[in-house]
Amino acid sequence: MAYKDALRLPVLAAGAEYIAMGYLMRRNVLAYKAPPNNEGYDLICIHPDPRRATRQIRIQVKTRYATDSNRGVPVKGKTLNAFDYLMIVYQNIGFFYRKKHFGEGPKPVQILTLPRAVVEQYHVRRGKGWEVFYPRGFDLEPFLDETGIELVARDLKIAYPKRESA
């Protein structure tokens, strides 16, 4: 499939940022959306306690809507130093590339939260302007779903929410 023939789903693309924000906020990480078309990052995260908010974390969000996608996402090399984490939201809404019925493909959302160092290590530069990150060749478990989001919370020194004892 040629790039110009790629399916554009702007609602799903915007929704990925809100999914990422929701999961971060579920972990008590205060997340703000950056202005549209901001270069290098989509979310800014800080500690929810203003007295402890000494650092901000910038997150670039990418999405894949197809359950049968190749899992790779375009990441420009010039933006690698503009974010601290890359979050890939796999929306898994159905099959788009295999010859399977679309309705068979919806699966739960998965999120990879990857530190910039990991992205830099596996970033691939290709001809014709394409630069891609493929999450292959390493163990994804420490970066998947809540485990990956915990990395952001730990960097911001946000303790896991708990009830204060009486």
**In this structure, is residue 160 part of a structural domain?**
no
- Is 3 or 12 the better-scoring residue by pLDDT? 12
> Does residue 79 belong to any structural domain of this protein?
yes
| Residue in 66, 44, 46, 64 with CA at minimum distance from that of residue 55 | 46
* 66 occurs within a structural domain: yes
Q: pTM of the prediction?
A: 0.87
The token duo for 87 is 């979050």
pLDDT digits 0-9 by tens, 6-43: 667 788 888 999 999 999 999 999 999 999 889 899 99
pLDDT tens digits, residue range 93-102? 887 776 655 5
Position 86 in a domain: yes
Strand order of the sheet with strand 123-125? 73-74, 131-133, 123-125
Q: With respect to residue 164, please indicate whether it lies within any of the assigned structural domains.
A: no
Residue 58 in domain: yes
Residue 15 lies in a domain: yes
CATH number at residue 148: 3.40.1350.10
How many domains does the chain fold into?
1
* Domain assignment of residue 81, yes or no: yes
Mean pLDDT across the chain, nearest whole number? 87
Range from 1-5, 17-21, 30-34, 131-135 carrying the lowest mean pLDDT: 1-5
Consecutive H or E run containing 155: helix 145-155
Between CA 159 and CA 53 the distance in angstroms is 13
Could you identify the residue written with the tokens 């929810």? Answer: 48
pLDDT in tens, 83-126: 999 999 998 888 777 665 555 668 899 999 999 999 999 888 77
- Given this model, what pLDDT does residue 2 score? 45
Tell me the residue range of the domain where 131 lies: 3-155
